[in-house]
Amino acid sequence: MKSLAAIILATLLLTSCNKQTSTKMTTTENEKIVIQYYDYFNKHEWGKMAEMYAQVSEFKDPSLGKGIVKQTRQQIIDKYSGLNEMFPDVKDEIVQIYPSGDKHIIVEFISTGTALDGSKFELPICTVFTIENGLITKDFTYYDNFEEPEQ
């Protein structure tokens, strides 16, 4: 009986060792959407980037005020066109993408740019995207906007 158990155990161990299970990570559709988004951003293709959003999307962004703000695609184009005028070389470099469930992608990135007066900025940012039916419906962005504390 002991030898039968030993044979079964040895067979299981050999079988499990011989199976080369692949832990290859695959890129989800939502990750592909986000990667395309940052490609459009870095090429300053604001219209194409805005088309990645729903007709009206929800934003949390210190530049838009406190709380959730709804934005149309045209408002998105206007916002980033204005940013581009202030910082003609604005660019985002993805540090890491973190998929979270079926609808959410968290992106950690560094935004950089040079103003017309030559001053530069480098800002670490984190955005939580909600993607539904292939479109961004929520864009919740977090960064230090250097506001003075209220007194």
Q: Is 151 contained in some domain?
A: no
Between 42 and 3, the more confident residue is 42
What is the number of structural domains in the chain?
1
Q: Is 63 contained in some domain?
A: yes
What is residue 62's DSSP assignment? G
Q: What is the CATH number of the domain that holds 63?
A: 3.10.450.50
Q: Is 102 contained in some domain?
A: yes
53-107 confidence digits (pLDDT tens): 999 999 999 988 889 999 999 999 999 999 999 999 999 999 999 999 999 999 9
Residue 23: the pLDDT is 43
Q: Is 137 contained in some domain?
A: yes
Mean pLDDT over the full length of the chain: 86
Q: Is 62 contained in some domain?
A: yes
Q: What is the pTM of this model?
A: 0.78
Q: Is 91 contained in some domain?
A: yes
In 3D space, the residue among 87, 83, 128, 88 whose CA is nearest the CA of residue 105 turns out to be: 128
* Domain interval for residue 105: 28-142
- What residues contact 132, with CB distance under 8 A and at least 6 apart? 54, 103
Q: Is 22 contained in some domain?
A: no
- What residues contact 101, with CB distance under 8 A and at least 6 apart? none
